[in-house]
Amino acid sequence: MVAVKQSNMGLVSKKPIRSLSIGYDGKGKVSSEQHEQVVKDEYQRGYEDASSQLNQQIVEFRTEVNDLREGTFSVLEEKFLSVLKEAREALMTLTFDCVKRSLGGFEMPAEAIKSVVEAMIEEAGLDDEKMDIRLNPADIDLLGELEQEIKDKHPALNFVSDASLQRGDCMLSSRFGKIDGLMSTKLDRLKESLNPSS
């Protein structure tokens, strides 16, 4: 066996080399076909792992998006219902105030007073019973000839002048009790009917 030493110039032998034999201590040799198959298998395994991770991330992302969407829609729905409630209440208040102000300066004609009285009689349902209808003195004066027309239909009806009542107010009294036809009462009923929560 020839002694060989290694230098910066490569392998240096003291005697000329007549033959050379190289030994290999590594793993067994594989063919190029086997190597390509191993590469393909590893690539496929890496692709499947990456796809699995990507699909999992997509599922998690969709879940987060759905949660955010549901949360956003829930908040928007609450805000919408809150705004809708405020708008209804504001509209109710505005409508009520408009009606109240309009009636405050409204001079009721005789026909309107007659309608108020007839509505009270109809509500009482006492055509032949003795009834007292209390009205503001100005409203009684305004009725004029219509007062007699109403009395012809209801002979037991008696009109009573009451200065404590406002214009348009009407109170009916009979042996069965009283019926409140005050404008303030009607306005309160209107306010209740306009209330969205009722």
Q: Read off the pLDDT of residues 68-110 as tens digits, 9 standing for 90 and up.
A: 888 888 888 888 888 887 777 777 666 656 655 655 555 677 7
Mean pLDDT of the chain: 76
**Does position 15 have pLDDT exceeding 70, yes or no?**
yes
Q: Read off the pLDDT of residues 137-184 as tens digits, 9 standing for 90 and up.
A: 888 888 877 888 888 888 888 888 888 888 888 888 888 878 887 776
SS (H, E, C) 90-152: HHHHHHHHHHHHHHHCCCCCHHHHHHHHHHHHHHHCCCCCCEEEEECHHHHHHHCHHHHHHHH
To the question of pTM greater than 0.75 for the whole model, the response is no
Given the structure tokens 């108020």, which residue do they identify? 116
Give the angle 11-16-22 at the CA atoms, nearest 5°: 55
Give the angle 79-83-86 at the CA atoms, nearest 5°: 140
**Does position 7 have pLDDT exceeding 70, yes or no?**
no
Question: So what's the pLDDT on residue 66?
Answer: 83
Question: So what's the pLDDT on residue 11?
Answer: 61
